Amino acid sequence: DQQVKQNSPSLSVQEGRISILNCDYTNSMFDYFLWYKKYPAEGPTFLISISSIKDKNEDGRFTVFLNKSAKHLSLHIVPSQPGDSAVYFCAASGGGSEKLVFGKGTKLTVNP
């Protein structure tokens, strides 16, 4: 039973365009959501997070949107750069637990 789902294994966009990565969750107890970026042969790197009391959090080119009623969040990257090419993991925690539950990841490729 996968509590955090990233249904798109891969995404390809042109440099300068917007990248939108999606994530759905099933556990209504989740109240904190994070995005991690992972390059090959490296550990995941924290990118941006959002608490359930917010519906949007922005950090430079990265914005995360949270729709609690739909149990859906998305990561927007604008403008996309070739260096953004990586695997992006959505993660969630909550219900009094600090355990992070990860999705399977989406591989983003930004073409020059």
Tracing tokens 């955090």 back to the chain, one arrives at: 4
For other proteins, the binding residue among 1, 43, 60, 70 (CB under 8 A) is: 43
Q: How far is the CB of 44 from other proteins (least distance, A)?
A: 5
Binding flag, residue 46, other proteins (CB under 8 A): yes
In the complex with other proteins, the residue whose CB is nearer, 30 or 89, is 89
CA–CA gap between residue 74 and residue 66 (Å, rounded): 7
CA–CA gap between residue 94 and residue 53 (Å, rounded): 13
Q: How far is the CB of 94 from other proteins (least distance, A)?
A: 13
For residue 88, the tally of other CB atoms under 10 A from its CB is 23
For other proteins, the binding residue among 19, 24, 30, 34 (CB under 8 A) is: 34
For residue 17, the tally of other CB atoms under 10 A from its CB is 13
Least Cα distance to 104 among 42, 38, 59, 60 occurs for 38
Q: How far is the CB of 17 from other proteins (least distance, A)?
A: 26
Q: Which residues bind other proteins (CB under 8 A)?
A: 4, 6, 34, 36, 41-46, 49, 89, 91, 97-105
